[in-house]
Amino acid sequence: MLKLDTFTGMHGDCFAFSPDGQRLAFCVQRSLQSATRHTDVFLAGVARSELWWIDLASGQIEEVTAEGDRFAPCWSPDGSMLAFGVATSESVRLSILNVRDGRRLTLTGNLTLRGKRPFDWIDDTQVVCAMVPGGELPRLFDLDRRACRKAPQTWAQLDRLGSSTVSVLGQRDWRAGR
């Protein structure tokens, strides 16, 4: 199966085995019909994702709940904690679940979402992640939101007869090669 698909999402893997191999955390993407937001294009489906984990010996399955949509599960080296991203319409944050007692900590700052994994474990208790300064939104998050809101106005304006459009050619004639 892994030869057919790597199951790597836009911002992290879609599943992770615990270090002892006894549990599997995995994302389930809901259908587009169930999406609550359609402007989070860059999240590539994360905006409608659930996170679950299963005990492979017993078959017991449990949803990892959080305020928002969950993505990129990543176990701590000792398997006692599960880090994952949580996306809402206003933020993309890191959440850490203590699987032994169910306590969860969610960071208040937004992740930058650079690279294939926006966070990773340094050791059993410390996670490293890049955060957007000053409580701002990640650049791509904000770009998609602004573009989706402004595009219909711009398209309507361009549909009007006689409206001007921008040309990257400037005053030069591209056919003349000058």
Q: How big is the chain, counted in residues?
A: 178
The confidence band for 16, taking pLDDT boundaries of 50, 70 and 90, is very high
Query: For residues 91 and 66, is the Cβ–Cβ distance under 8 A?
Result: no
Mean pLDDT of the chain: 77
CATH assignment, 8-135 = 2.130.10.10
> Per residue in 160-169, pLDDT tens?
766 666 655 5
- Write the DSSP assignment of 3-35 as a string of letters: TT---EETTEESEEE-TTSSEEEEEEEPPGGG-
Using alpha carbons, select from 130, 27, 23 the residue that is nearest to residue 72. 27
Lowest mean pLDDT among 29-33, 102-106, 146-150: 29-33
N-term to C-term CA, the chain: 55
Q: What's the confidence (pLDDT) of residue 32? A: 62
Q: What's the confidence (pLDDT) of residue 71? A: 86
Counting residues of the chain whose pLDDT is more than 90, the rounded percentage is: 30
Identify residue 112 by its one-letter amino acid code.
T
Question: Which residues face 51 on adjacent strands?
Answer: 27, 64
The confidence band for 170, taking pLDDT boundaries of 50, 70 and 90, is low
* Integer Cα distance of 114 and 128 in angstroms: 13
- Predicted TM-score of the model (pTM): 0.70
More confident position, 174 or 121: 121
Identify the top-confidence range among 66-70, 74-78, 118-122, 147-151.
74-78
Is it the case that residue 157 has pLDDT exceeding 90?
Answer: no
> Per residue in 72-106, pLDDT tens?
899 999 999 999 988 887 788 899 999 999 999 99
The confidence band for 153, taking pLDDT boundaries of 50, 70 and 90, is confident
Query: For residues 106 and 66, is the Cβ–Cβ distance under 8 A?
Result: yes
